[in-house]
Amino acid sequence: MPVVAGPPQGHGPSTFDKMKMGALMGSSKSPVACLVLAMADQFSLAVGGIMGFIIGTVTIFQYGAGPNGVMRTLGKYMLGSGATFGLFMSIGSVIRTEGPHNDAWLRARGPPMMLPRQSPLRPVRE
């Protein structure tokens, strides 16, 4: 009988995929971000957009909305803050996951091992 082939060895996400994921985690969920990033519907909350909303609201209360009006000014703050936070989040996620020891750690870690309750390898509680 032939040997059954194991599961295919999947490769981790590419650097571009990691940058895209970081950008999705940090950017706002605006229609522009949804068009640019197809997976934007997976994230329910946008840190950058919320920070832009807070900063923009405080700025509008302090200095006024200007000739563009409240909604356009607030939208500019939210979009700018979301894009900036998304950029830095994507760069940080790539830096964090790219390293010479990452592959060795993943190989050494292995899948979790399940032990029965009466296993001689399991420590006995007293």
CA–CA separation, 113 vs 45, rounded Å? 35
Identify residue 66 by its one-letter amino acid code. G
Q: Is residue 125 situated within a structural domain?
A: no
DSSP 76-95: HHHHHHHHHHHHHHHHHHHH
Q: Please name the residue that has the structure tokens 């068009």.
A: 35
CB 38 within 8 A of CB 21: no
Higher pLDDT, 63 or 21: 63
Could you read off the pLDDT of 41-62 as tens digits, one per residue?
Answer: 334 346 888 888 999 999 999 9
Q: Is residue 108 situated within a structural domain?
A: no
Q: Is residue 112 situated within a structural domain?
A: no
Q: Is residue 2 situated within a structural domain?
A: no
Q: How many domains does the chain have?
A: 1
Q: What is the pLDDT of residue 119?
A: 63
Q: Is residue 120 situated within a structural domain?
A: no
Q: Is residue 126 situated within a structural domain?
A: no
Domain carrying residue 78: 15-98
